[in-house]
Amino acid sequence: MKFPAPVSVQWIADLIHAEVAGNVTKEVTGINEIHKVERGDLVFVDHPKYYDKCLNSEASFIIINTKEVAVPEGKTILIVKEPFEAYLKIVNHFRPFTAAEKSISDDVSVGEGSVIMPNVFIGHSVVIGKNCVIHPNVSLLDHTIIGDNVVIQAGTVIGSDAFYYNTKKDRDTWYKRMQSCGNVVIEDNVEIGAGCTIDRGVTAETRIGNGTKMDNMVHIGHDTTVGKNCLFAAQVGIAGGTIIEDGVTLWGQVGVSKTLTIGANAIVLAQSGVPSSLAGGKTYFGYPAEDASLKRRELVWIKRIPELWRKVME
């Protein structure tokens, strides 16, 4: 999430009651997760396992819970007891929860030729392009951006909070929600089926590329990037932080794990599971998803096991 305007390090330090070390002259431009950070961003880390990764990332400012680290040249650390709580305080300041007072907010922008059917909910700061059709009972939550010529079928929810929690066993509530301050961007010519759910980014965006088509009951997790002209059949589920490159086809009930990449023009056949990255331009099947021709041969040999066993026993 980018701030409305850059703020000084000292202003952030005062907000979260932090001790500052390192470069104190630069201004903070936004807050982001580690896999989305850019120069000028603020990131938080509260586990020694990830100290080095955060300190050596593109982030210019790091909220951390120790003084015992070497601060990279030009960077700044802000030392607090609970970095996660500091993150929440910053997010709540810049993008606080604002309850809706009507079904379509006053600050919505709707392009020429677009049709909004009855019982649609549209939250704050939503932008809808030209010649779109939004069918009944769709929910477009805060900060969602919809391009031109987009069709969204009934009952779909776009922009719901990420399924993303900070886990600590030393407190009464083990799972504390990492508040989402990102959004969803739907590019031009996308069609989304009925009953789909697309979560907003935690701090950045979830993006669906130009020309992509989704069947009913598809779920896209937070911070996922879907390329152009992809095709997802019913009940596909994609976890957070995943990259789906251009032209990928996922057939029915394919499950895709988090923070991996499926290469351009790959095809994953129905009911397959994808636990790790896949190269583009191939067809995959099974769990774990593998080259479909190899997997089919494997299934043939599995079926022959009883026959082979009988021959061994004779």
Tell me the pLDDT tens digit for each residue of 181-192: 999 999 999 999
Q: Does domain 109-296 bear CATH number 3.40.50.2000?
A: no
Question: Cis omega (within 30 of 0) on the bond before 288?
Answer: yes
β-pairing verdict for 290-291 and 283-285:
antiparallel
pLDDT at residue 183, rounded to an integer: 97
2-94 CATH fold:
3.40.1390
CA distance 226 to 206: 8
pLDDT band at 172 (very low <50, low <70, confident <90, very high): confident
Instruction: State pLDDT tens for residues 202-257.
Output: 999 999 999 999 999 999 999 999 999 999 999 999 999 999 999 999 999 999 99
Question: Would you say residue 262 has pLDDT above 80?
Answer: yes
Question: Would you say residue 145 has pLDDT above 90?
Answer: yes
Region 132-147: mean pLDDT is 98
The structural domains of the chain, with segments of one domain joined by +, span: 2-94, 109-296
Catalytic residue among 135, 143, 219, 222: 222
The answer, as to whether pTM is greater than 0.85, is yes
CA distance 49 to 152: 42
Active-site residue flag, 222: yes
Task: Provide the b/e sequence for 228-249 (b: ≥16 CB within 10 Å).
Answer: bbbbbbbbbbbbbbbbbbbbbb
pLDDT band at 174 (very low <50, low <70, confident <90, very high): confident
pLDDT at residue 304, rounded to an integer: 86
pLDDT band at 166 (very low <50, low <70, confident <90, very high): confident
Instruction: State pLDDT tens for residues 41-55.
Output: 999 998 899 999 999
Residues in the chain: 314
pLDDT at residue 302, rounded to an integer: 86
